[in-house]
Chains A and B, each alone.
Chain A
Amino acid sequence: MTTEPPLTGTAAVPTSPGGIRLAVRDLEVRLGASGPDVVRDVSFAVRAGEVLGIVGESGSGKTTVALALLGHARRGLSIHSGEVRLDGVDLLRLRPAQLRAARGAKVAYVPQDPSAALNPALRIGTQLEEALRVHAGIVDSPADRVIEVMREASLEATPEMLKRYPHQLSGGQQQRVSLAMAFACRPSLIVLDEPTTGLDVSTQRHVLDTVRSLCRSYGVAAVYVSHDLAVVGGLVANVAVMYAGRIIEIGAAAPLFAGPVHPYTRGLLAAIPSPERAELLTGIEGQQPRPGHRGAGCSFAPRCSFATDRCRVETPEPVSIGGRTVLCLRAAEIAGDGAARPAAAARPVASGSAAALSLRGVCASYGQTPVLFDVALDVPEKSCVAVVGESGSGKTTLAQCIAGLHRNWTGDMTFQGAALAPGARQRQKDVLKRVQYVFQNPYTSLNPRKTVGQIIGQQLEQFYRFSFRERTERIATVLDDVSLGRSFMSRYPDQLSGGERQRVAIARALVVEPDLLVCDEVTSALDVSVQAVIVELLRRLQRERQLAMIFITHNLALVRNIAQSAVVLCKGAVVESGLVEQILEHPADPYTISLIRDVPKLAVAGLADLAGLPPDQIRSAVRTEPATRPASQPINPARGA
């Protein structure tokens, strides 16, 4: 009786395999007992066997909503009003003991980081049985149920496996143990909080497949929280897009991705890189307002290109457009504008032929464990080479070898005709200056006790002997270059957003005018909309400054946007290298083929299908979808089972 959920971009209709299991109405979470609201006016419904996606940038309140579904509010927050009805029972009205009994048995939670959620001191068999024992009487034989859920989660249900400790499992296996644990008691609702963030694309795909099939076969209602629209696109029937604590657009997934109405949703979709086309990524500039600073009017207005004066004073109320609820004053006017696909990116100028950096037979190891095998790589002058690989492929080690952070390597590295010494300490100052490294995580790469001016100034202090005025001038210039401006000089890192921090890190690298820039997964800690801004920035700077650049990433979709050639790393060895087009369109190695296949891109494909249509046809495509009850409309509480 289950129908295929819309896996492709065609305007499929979310069918109802069962009745409504979860109905949330007017949920409001506040800071403290009566502080400003963190989340408000959140209403949606999920049917049995269906998955609802909640997407948004970090800080949009999506995790707060997810936890409220379990009747939980984090320290300092309180659930102020609203109801969360699961099978007719309002979880928010339960007494603590009843709520405890419901958690795990009726509502299950899968956290973001399984390595932190599983107890490292207990065998996984013990942990799986624990949930069943706490809720005694759910099953007669916990051991049998454990084997059953292990199989369902595509884990080997062997005694050896059950005896393992969490650290003996891979990240994907750990997440599947979490899934098995959540499904063990056959709950009615399962809340997944970014369960695939931090997993490789292939692992991510397997985990998503598991979630999908488990939800369908047991009629579980699921809520899937993610910042990654591409992941959500392939999995869910309905999507709720959150911004600054409110749902700004909610509706069936496929038409929403094909024809987003709210400017924010459009922005998010335009920011997703596509592995099929090289195109200009447009991110969303600015930051969302924090709770208590959301002011009057539409909270997205300051970042919105459609905003009018009215948007800045009048708070939008939900309007229904084409079976979807949108929180935008101008929704009706701009719905017809269509979602313009970003412009194709200009092809990069021809790169220099001479190699700026050339690696031959580079092998590296951590202690006794070898991690890189015979790596050969050429970075031509003025051109960008992408190094692609999953976690554990050795790509960060390679970057650190080049930068001089990892000393334990052998082989030949030639930079501008001269051999590179293994460690930074053995390198000439001049070499250190010309090879610059941008770290993966901008939250740890800037000293929290220094201002932006000091951080960038210190780089200059180490390599040049400038006067105070000259130094300040250079810092200001480079801050302008990364679109921050000199007012940022006196800020501390904790006053900056993730994207701003990463720009500071890039400015620090560029201020000494390097010849080679090594970027190690510089966008992996950032939101998609910010990632787009940073990638565009890097591309512009690379072209303007004629930099040679190594762009390390696990995201194949980004490669085409920034690099001219690419190298695919697998388990420490280069399996394929060549021009980007050639690798993405005619991959030769099975590993590359599987990488490309596993990139989640369903939402984008759906968008591309409709992108060719004129705006009015998109609107009709969205409108002609049969009238199913919009998920966000109020639901009669008496409906529950």
Chain B
Amino acid sequence: MAVVTPGLSPAGRAPARAAGGRTRRPEWLSSLWAAARTTRGAVGLVLALLIAALAVIGPWVTPYQPNALLTLPFAKPSGHLLLGADFIGRDALSRVLDGGWLLLLMATAATALGVILGAAAGVSAAYLRGVSDGIIMRTIDVILSFPQLVFALLLLSVIGPKLWLIVLAVALSHAPQVGRVLRSATLDVSEQDYVKAAELQGMRPAKVMMKEIMPNLISPLMVEVGLRLTYSIVIIAGLAFLGFGQQPPASNWGSMINDNRIGLSLNPWAVIVPALLIALLTVGVNTFTDAVARVAIGVERRPEEAALLDDLGPREAA
């Protein structure tokens, strides 16, 4: 009865999509798009993209070598040094333009790693229950008992200020928090009947988690990504401020604030501009994330749509 086709796995995957027929915009994309169309989301997104563009394009358009000693320490802004000089007489503008991209890159990497780790832990804890749940959640509790920054500092002071270690430390400090959020989201989803239906088909737990549960966690996942990205930026910039980050003479927004703050009265721009950029980036990402979260829970859905869903939606079964 069963027609066994050779080379099942490639052929076996395609039909599922082909049978799906008409493509629909993936959930995560559509919720991002919906968020970007709200005022809150648009403001946040534009702000974050502007700063990101500055950090990415910046290194290519610096007026001077970021490390070149040009003038007196803390020289005031002038015609050719638009933001003045830093604490040893380098061009502050060049260092601002050059000092963002690595911060952004590290923050993104730390976020991705942290969210993936946390999601894996949270989803399996909630779905598998029992012993796995106990082990995963207690481990998370232990990591959570250290404040995020202290945890990162602890790792860095033992091994030394390596860039990969900063990324790993920040990711590890994110994972428990992501795990907790996704665990509770998974608890709701795994009670749904479609998950039980998949179990009745004899589907393996790993596959149930990947194919049935994960697609329904897109909204909380998107929110977590944005939120963690904000925190990563702040923590990594903070670590640089404390001296854990790129080592001198590399330029970095975080270390610029620390290095130049003694000359605040002489040339405030060397401190204000990098601080402002970090703040704007954080606020922008956070505002956009907030919009995504609101769209996800339906606060920001257009009112008519919400009313229709209420009025014509499913009657909850008792």
A residues bordering B, Cβ < 8 Å?
31-32, 35, 38, 58-59, 61, 63-64, 74-77, 113, 197-198, 227, 290-291, 391, 403-405, 424-425, 427, 429, 432, 436-437, 439-441, 443-451, 453-454, 457-459, 461-468, 470-472, 475, 489-490, 492, 498, 508, 524-525
Contact = CB atoms under 8 A, between A and B. Distances in A.
Nearest to A429: B202
Contacts of A448: 216
Interface string B178-209: 00000000000000111011111111000000
A513 B265 CA distance: 82
B90 to A, nearest CB: 53
B158 interface: no
Interface in B12-44: 12, 14-16, 18-22, 24, 27
A432 B16 contact: no
B80 interface: no
Nearest to A464: B2
Contact of B312 (A58, A198, A463): A58
Q: Enumerate the 8 nearest inter-chain pairs by beta-carbon distance, A residue then B residue, closest first.
A: A76-B307, A490-B21, A198-B318, A453-B19, A76-B303, A445-B193, A449-B215, A525-B317
30 contacts: A31-B307, A32-B304, A35-B304, A58-B312, A75-B310, A77-B311, A405-B196, A437-B197, A437-B200, A439-B197, A441-B317, A443-B317, A444-B193, A445-B192, A445-B197, A449-B216, A450-B215, A454-B19, A457-B16, A462-B202, A462-B203, A464-B2, A465-B12, A467-B3, A471-B19, A472-B15, A472-B18, A472-B19, A475-B19, A490-B22
A466 B201 contact: no
Interface in B191-248: 192-194, 196-203, 211-212, 215-216
A291 B311 CA distance: 10
Interface in B271-318: 302-308, 310-312, 314-318
Kindly state the interface size class of chain B when it binds its partner: 35 or more
B15 to A, nearest CB: 4
Given A75-B303, A468-B14, A470-B3, A405 B200 contact: yes
B312 A59 contact: yes
Contact of B5 (A404, A437, A467): A467
Contact of A75 (B14, B19, B306): B306
Contacts of B14: 468
Nearest to B24: A492
Contact of A463 (B197, B201, B212): B201
A466 B16 CA distance: 12
A214 B306 CA distance: 36
Contact of A432 (B22, B200, B307): B200
A28 B197 CA distance: 43
Nearest to B199: A424
A395 B318 CA distance: 15
Given A405-B200, A439-B193, A475-B19, 20 more contacts: A32-B303, A58-B315, A59-B312, A63-B311, A74-B307, A197-B315, A227-B315, A437-B197, A439-B197, A444-B194, A449-B216, A454-B16, A454-B20, A457-B16, A458-B198, A466-B3, A468-B15, A489-B21, A490-B19, A490-B20
Most buried by A among B19, B20, B215, B305: B19
A362 to B, nearest CB: 19
A387 B218 CA distance: 39
Contacts of B19: 451, 453-454, 457, 471-472, 475, 489-490
B208 to A, nearest CB: 11
Nearest to B192: A444
Given A74-B310, A291-B308, A391-B318, A439 B196 contact: yes
B142 interface: no
B8 interface: yes
A479 to B, nearest CB: 11
Contacts of B4: 465
Nearest to B191: A444
B306 A59 contact: no
Contacts of A437: 197, 200
Nearest to A391: B318
Contacts of A449: 27, 215-216
Given A74-B311, A77-B307, A447 B194 contact: yes
B18 A468 contact: yes
A4 B21 CA distance: 60
A451 B21 contact: yes
Contacts of B3: 465-467, 470
Contacts of A432: 200-202
A131 to B, nearest CB: 25
Nearest to A438: B197
Interface of B: prevailing SS: helix
A466 B2 contact: yes
B159 interface: no
A28 to B, nearest CB: 15
Contact of A462 (B194, B201, B215, B306): B201
Contacts of B8: 465
A116 to B, nearest CB: 9
Nearest to A487: B21
A445 B201 contact: no
B307 A447 contact: no
B317 A405 contact: no
Contacts of A463: 201
A457 B1 CA distance: 17
B186 to A, nearest CB: 14
A313 B200 CA distance: 50
A441 B194 CA distance: 10
B303 to A, nearest CB: 4
Contacts of A198: 318
Nearest to A440: B317
Contacts of B192: 444-445
Contacts of A76: 302-308, 310
A442 B107 CA distance: 43
A561 B305 CA distance: 39
Contacts of B1: 464
A114 to B, nearest CB: 11
Contacts of B61: none
B2 to A, nearest CB: 5
B216 A461 contact: no
B20 A403 contact: no
B152 to A, nearest CB: 36
B11 interface: yes
Given A404-B200, A462-B202, A467-B5, A441 B307 contact: no
Contacts of A462: 201-203
A35 B305 CA distance: 11
Nearest to B214: A449
A36 B156 CA distance: 62
A531 B205 CA distance: 34
Nearest to A466: B3
Contacts of A471: 15, 19
Contacts of A492: 24
Contacts of B2: 464-466
A2 to B, nearest CB: 33
A492 B311 CA distance: 20
Interface string B39-62: 000000000000000000000000
A490 B194 CA distance: 18
A427 B202 CA distance: 8
Contacts of A498: 314-315
B218 to A, nearest CB: 8
Contacts of A59: 311-312
A32 B308 CA distance: 11
A459 B198 CA distance: 8
A462 B318 CA distance: 31
A566 to B, nearest CB: 22
Contacts of B22: 490
A448 B212 CA distance: 10
